[in-house]
Amino acid sequence: MRARIKAQMRRIPMIYALALVAVKALDIRRGRWTEPELRLIPHVVRPGESAVDVGANYGLWSYHLARAVGRRGSVVAFEPVPQTFRALRRVLWLLGAARVRTVNAGIGDRDERVAFAVPVAAESGTTVGGLAHMVGAEGAGDHLVVEADIKRLDAVGITGDVALVKVDVEGAELYALRGASGLISDHQPIVICEIGQGLSEPRYGIEGSAVEDLLVDWGYETFKLVGERLMRESIDGRSDGNYVFVPAARRGRVAALMSG
């Protein structure tokens, strides 16, 4: 009897993980899980083009990007945490977006293998992949530590005209962009990047404005989506969230949304 109970207890995390996949897929399909910046995708990405999802988590952005590029386009999604990566692939399969190319790796400025700190949900014992981050100056704390590969985006073969790069890597966005300098120079994609200065500075000693400084040096302008409009807004240390970086080459795609 005890052996049977122990075996059942071991199955609980797997049952919970499969249920989580089903819930995430349903929430994405029905629009219950969303972000305002997803509304930019039809303006930025056209059928047949390519897009990159760095920090794909459970596939919210990958799904919507796959719908935008269609069968002739391509989406490449990067997720380093193995447990989350497995869930990502299952979610995309359930959503009919299995053609998205999924890569079990993070994106940084060098090719290496690093430790990731992954929070664990107390009620289920499962990992919370969306909050996973590379172990930086603050250490891992009481998180689960897993190893994962980091690749430079420039070292990954991305085909087609890359129209959009979305980056959400829990404070390490500067590293990801440094490793994508060649792709950004060649394709001039619009970049949607999460800025969390409460994450980047204590973990890696990086000010949030460093991402903006880098992209401005590369010829980009900085915007934030406010309602239905893109507003010019520099990163000043007070307003975190998703920022939209637009190069001159693709300004026309979102010009109608720009204020002023």
What's the confidence (pLDDT) of residue 19? 86
What's the confidence (pLDDT) of residue 260? 58
* CA separation for the pair 116, 80 (Å, rounded): 9
What's the confidence (pLDDT) of residue 12? 46
Find the range with the poorest average confidence among 22-26, 72-76, 114-118, 245-249. 114-118
At residue 156, does pLDDT exceed 80?
A: yes
What's the confidence (pLDDT) of residue 10? 45
As a whole number of Å, the CA-based R_g of the chain is 19
At residue 195, does pLDDT exceed 70?
A: yes
* CA separation for the pair 212, 218 (Å, rounded): 10
* CA separation for the pair 146, 115 (Å, rounded): 6
Strands (E) across the chain are located at 50-54, 74-78, 101-103, 106-107, 112-118, 133-134, 144-151, 162-167, 190-195, 220-226, 229-232, 241-247
Angle at 109 between CA 140 and CA 98, to 5 degrees: 85
Candidates 3.40.50.150, 3.30.420.60, 1.10.8.80, 2.40.50.140; CATH matching 31-106+153-257: 3.40.50.150
Residue of higher predicted confidence among 229 and 119: 229
What's the confidence (pLDDT) of residue 1? 38
DSSP category for residue 95: T
Residue of higher predicted confidence among 231 and 117: 231
Q: Which residues pair with 136 in a beta bridge?
A: none
Closest of 127, 132, 186, 123 to residue 154, by C-alpha: 186
What's the confidence (pLDDT) of residue 238? 60
Residues 179-192 as b/e (b if ≥16 CB within 10 A, e otherwise) read bbeebbeebbbbbb
What's the confidence (pLDDT) of residue 18? 82
Residue of higher predicted confidence among 87 and 146: 87
At residue 230, does pLDDT exceed 80?
A: yes
Residue of higher predicted confidence among 54 and 144: 54
* CA separation for the pair 143, 60 (Å, rounded): 24
Burial of 82 (C-beta count, 10 Å sphere; 0-12/13-18/19+): middle
User: Residue 207 has which token pair?
Assistant: 């000010």
User: Beta strands 74-78 and 50-54: pairing type?
Assistant: parallel
CA distance to 27, 36, 60, 111, 120, per residue, from 31 (Å): 6, 11, 10, 36, 26
What's the confidence (pLDDT) of residue 97? 95
At residue 214, does pLDDT exceed 80?
A: yes
What's the confidence (pLDDT) of residue 7? 41
| % of the chain residues with pLDDT over 90 | 63
Contact 45, 65 (CB under 8 A): yes
What's the confidence (pLDDT) of residue 190? 98
* Mean pLDDT score of the chain: 86
pLDDT digits (tens, 9 = 90+) for 99-114: 999 999 999 999 989 8
What's the confidence (pLDDT) of residue 122? 55
What's the confidence (pLDDT) of residue 66? 98
What's the confidence (pLDDT) of residue 207? 80
What's the confidence (pLDDT) of residue 6? 37
What's the confidence (pLDDT) of residue 253? 96
The three-state secondary structure class of 136 is coil
User: Residue 201 has which token pair?
Assistant: 């500075």
At residue 9, does pLDDT exceed 50?
A: no
What's the confidence (pLDDT) of residue 222? 95
* CA separation for the pair 28, 2 (Å, rounded): 40
How many other C-beta atoms are found inside a 10 Å radius of the C-beta of residue 235?
A: 21
At residue 217, does pLDDT exceed 80?
A: yes
Q: Where are the domains of the chain?
A: 31-106+153-257
